[in-house]
Structure 1
């Protein structure tokens, strides 16, 4: 399965490429008054207004100082942006490489994948951002 490896605050994360329609560089984000802290704001993507969710705020991490990319997430016809620090690469992960986390207190962590030089948490945030 194809997964996108990205980093936030010097930690590595993986997200399924099936849930990401495209990856864009960060563009101007308009703040929304009284929005939850994890809503970064709104963007205009080729004439379509999308809500941008700050992943670090959503999963309670320190906010990155220099977010560079936005995942355009899709769920049926609905789309939202997911602000992250930096995309590293798209990789193929074999199902046998995925170690499932069954005892995690957070429902967005679905497992980990070990590489020779790092460990990456696999996250699934669609159910959080498309409620």
Structure 2
């Protein structure tokens, strides 16, 4: 019997939401780093961080998804390849790397308080639902269609 296809995802928390990004676009997970603010940019851009000599733009997942920070947030930066460039996504906490059978993931769903354009699918981690983010749609209003931060 052939193996059923699986979805590999990195699971993290942003405010009250449990979210995921496809593992194929995740390059690295870093502890929270101080970001240098950039004057005149969107509040969703936390700033620039230096990762081994390379400056990367970090976007704040809490602002992008309209979520409050939690007092127990450890803070982490998930480095993602989006639109041919690498960006950081600031999250509250990285929780897991998960292999989910593809048949257990439902396509886009209406979720209270979550813009459906940001949702690629909904899955389960144990008995807890998570949102597989459409990272391109999440970042598009900030980085633009050409991948450049305005």
Unaligned 5+ residue runs, structure 1?
none
Unaligned 5+ residue runs, structure 2?
1-6, 145-150
Q: Matched residue pairs, number?
A: 131
Larger radius of gyration: 2
The answer to whether the 8 A contact 2:49-2:58 is kept is yes
CA distances 1:2-32 after superposition (whole Å, capped 9, x unpaired): 1011112243112111111111111111111
Instruction: Point out the more displaced range, 102-111 or 120-129.
Output: 102-111
- Give the TM-score normalised by structure 2: 0.77
Question: Which of 3, 10, 15 is equivalent to 1:4?
Answer: 10
- Give the TM-score normalised by structure 1: 0.87
| Counterpart mapping for 1:1-131 below 5 A | 1-65=7-71, 66-75=73-82, 77-101=84-108, 105-129=115-139, 130-131=143-144
Q: How well do the aligned residues superpose, as a CA RMSD in angstroms?
A: 2.0
Cα 1:40–1:93 change in 2 (3 A) is: same
